[in-house]
A and B are shown apart, each in its own frame.
Chain A
Amino acid sequence: MHSIVLIKEVPDIRVGKVVFTDKGTLDRQKMGRMLNPDDAHAMEAALRLREKYGGKITTLSMGPPTAEDSLRQTIGMGADEAVLQSDIALGGSDTLATAYALTEAVKRIGEFDFVFAGLKALDGETGQVGPQVAENLHIPEVAYVEEILNLDMDNRLIESRTIFEGGYTILVSKFPALLTITPTFYEPRHPTPMNMLKAKKSVIRKLNASDCNLDTSRIGLMGSPTKVAKSGPGDATGRHCKFLGEGTTLEEILQVVTTNSIQK
């Protein structure tokens, strides 16, 4: 059995890790980079599947050369091979262009039973690329998977519990299929020292645009249908906090609470 796990390296924008410029924008130069947290959960799901049913895991990332670090981390977790799709021509790709490029890379990697993806990337938070890759590969996607329940190898069926608007569904899908994994069930393992050693020595396979025979009109900034017309610091809050004992009193705070707590 062969699983391909799609991963992304993202700027570390977790609380407390963010660095701002004087102008209040994110200072991406000074910020760290990390394996997208949801993708670590996807990786974990693939590892658990391999533990039970055997086979091989290949991780794949489209991104700048620095993404090698995150790929090595997946080897540290237990991936058998890692592939980096990197090309200057891919810079600025939106989700449709990214999904196109990843699809072609998956085809170069070869036969597979499953493609795993994290629910979404920390920086873009679109959650689109997984289902778009599935569409391009003409395979079903099972989105928002919390837990894989069963695999029927004879009939090539996978049964999973997925999140569904606050509740859940149990879906049975033919495979090959693409699964997007929610960060709720598969708690990612830490790389083992032995695997980390292996990760350091591993050769990451590189693919560029021409290796994948990519149509350059469909990738990069120019090949992306969506454009960022404007981008700036988020909502100005328009609020000025009055602190208890400085700008306000308990009495005032209670007034706000009680006048609104009368049912209208």
Chain B
Amino acid sequence: MPDYSGVWIVAEQHSNILEDISLEMLGKGRELADALHEELVAVLLGYQVEDLARQLVTYGADKVYVGDHPELANYRSLPYTRVVSELAQKYKPRYMVFGATTTSNPLASRVSARLNTGLASVCTDLRVSDYDWLGKHYEKLLMQVRPDFNAFYLSTIITPDYKPEIATVRPGVFHPINPESAREGEIIQYPVQLQPEDLVVQVKKMVKAERTVDLKGAHIIVSGGRGVGKDPEKGFKLIEELAEACSGEVGASRGAVMAGYIDGSHQVGQTGTTVHPDVYIAAGISGAPQHLVGMSNSKKIIAINPDKNAPIFEYADYGIVGDLFEWVPKLTEEVRKRKAAPT
């Protein structure tokens, strides 16, 4: 299919602020486009988003297709699907990359169905490669790497006979390039025409979570899991104290969040935030795969758990077999002592 060309990323913005994932996709997209010697294109939908289009260029886009329309101000899957699909049908990208987020995941799903092509979701790596499949040679396939079976497996997905090849990528995995304000790129307005059937869902209210927890930028994260269960309030208070002593942030496993021990904004893992701090301290976390996926790239991992056979220790550099209610305050005390006494 020689007429398909270029790497597209479908940017995500809410309230006219670009989400980090948009810049992360451009970082990876730049790499893929350079490997192909083809262009990197961003698709940007919203209302009065001209400034954001410029920003996408500074972060690596060679071209930005902008769909600017009052009905596109807030994400809604039907009108967004129409515009993204029309653009893809008209300009025929080789690859399309979306964020694996609560808004872009349904969008990518609908677009793939409308374009009748494959979609590999929540990828953690993307590469370009020639590949032989069932006796046939394919050039420049997108190798889409994703954790499968609750992250017990790592699979490489290909979409050999359909175009575009579509993937969603996990937030927090790829890195943006350094922005250059002098970068040049083409910004093209696409004439948006919506149909009444695109507008059957109305956004009545939209509340963005206050991001008081900065897990992505943290150097140290102290996380609690179900192990705090016997006294969740005290458990997370102890964890918070250790985090504070280390100038770190408080994280949590999905188990702890689902049990209602702590707010979901702290959640690390597949359905939460992907983190890579210098030090990750896992307290009372057994290491469910969905959690491991979100923190296993931390530089150093310290685990505290009463069960020596807990999977978390396989991912840890240092292990303390014991009760977090005993060990977390001990660490806090020691850290405070060392910080107070200049060495």
Question: Which one of B48-56, B63-71, B141-149 is at the interface?
Answer: B141-149
- B109, chain A: closest CB distance, angstroms: 4
Question: Chain B at the A interface: mostly helix, strand, loop or mixed?
Answer: mixed
A242–B131 alpha-carbon span in the complex (Å): 41
A210 within 8 A of B: no
Interface residues of B (CB under 8 A from A): 14, 19, 74, 77-78, 81, 101-103, 105-106, 108-110, 112-114, 116-122, 131, 133, 143, 147-162, 197, 200-209, 211, 219-220, 245-248, 258, 264-265, 270, 278-279, 281, 286, 288-289, 296, 300-303, 308, 311, 313-322, 331, 334-335, 338-339
- A190, chain B: closest CB distance, angstroms: 18
A227 within 8 A of B: yes
Whether B159 lies near A225 (C-beta < 8 A) is: yes
Question: Which one of A53-61, A77-85, A108-116, A122-130 is at the interface?
Answer: A122-130
Whether A257 lies near B335 (C-beta < 8 A) is: yes
A67–B311 alpha-carbon span in the complex (Å): 30
- Interface size, chain A (Cβ < 8 Å): 79
Whether B315 lies near A239 (C-beta < 8 A) is: yes
Whether A261 lies near B122 (C-beta < 8 A) is: no
A235–B108 alpha-carbon span in the complex (Å): 26
Chain B residue with the shortest CB-CB distance to A122? B150
Which residue in A128, A163, A254, A260 is a CB contact (below 8 Å) of B112? A128
6 more CB-based (< 8 A) A-B contacts, given A226-B118, A227-B159, A231-B155: A127-B121, A168-B206, A169-B203, A235-B154, A243-B318, A248-B318
Whether A257 contacts B246 in the complex (CB less than 8 A), given A140-B200, A140-B201, A227-B159, comes out as yes
User: CB within 8 Å of B: which of A165-222?
Assistant: 165-174, 180, 183-184
Whether A140 lies near B77 (C-beta < 8 A) is: yes
- A13, chain B: closest CB distance, angstroms: 5
Whether A132 lies near B109 (C-beta < 8 A) is: yes
A127–B122 alpha-carbon span in the complex (Å): 10
Question: Chain A at the B interface: mostly helix, strand, loop or mixed?
Answer: mixed
Whether A234 contacts B105 in the complex (CB less than 8 A), given A170-B204, A257-B281, comes out as no
Residues of chain A within 8 A (CB-CB) of B311 are 15
Whether B153 lies near A226 (C-beta < 8 A) is: no
How many residue pairs at the A-B interface have CB separations less than 8 Å?
257
A18–B105 alpha-carbon span in the complex (Å): 28
Residues of chain A within 8 A (CB-CB) of B335 are 254, 257-258, 261
A18–B286 alpha-carbon span in the complex (Å): 14
Whether A128 lies near B109 (C-beta < 8 A) is: yes
Whether A128 contacts B318 in the complex (CB less than 8 A), given A165-B14, A226-B158, comes out as no
Chain A residue with the shortest CB-CB distance to B147? A234
Chain B residue with the shortest CB-CB distance to A262? B247
Which residue in B116, B158, B301, B339 is a CB contact (below 8 Å) of A229? B158
Chain A residue with the shortest CB-CB distance to B279? A260
Residues of chain B within 8 A (CB-CB) of A15 are 286, 288-289, 311
Whether A231 lies near B148 (C-beta < 8 A) is: yes
**A-B complex: 5 closest residue pairs judged by Cβ atoms:** A225-B118, A166-B209, A226-B118, A131-B109, A261-B246
Chain A residue with the shortest CB-CB distance to B154? A234
Whether B204 lies near A159 (C-beta < 8 A) is: yes
Residues of chain A within 8 A (CB-CB) of B158 are 226-227, 229
- B298, chain A: closest CB distance, angstroms: 10
A230 within 8 A of B: yes
A153 within 8 A of B: no
Residues of chain A within 8 A (CB-CB) of B153 are 25-26, 231-234
Residues of chain B within 8 A (CB-CB) of A122 are 150
A142 within 8 A of B: yes
Residues of chain B within 8 A (CB-CB) of A233 are 152-154
Whether B113 lies near A96 (C-beta < 8 A) is: yes
Whether B296 lies near A263 (C-beta < 8 A) is: no
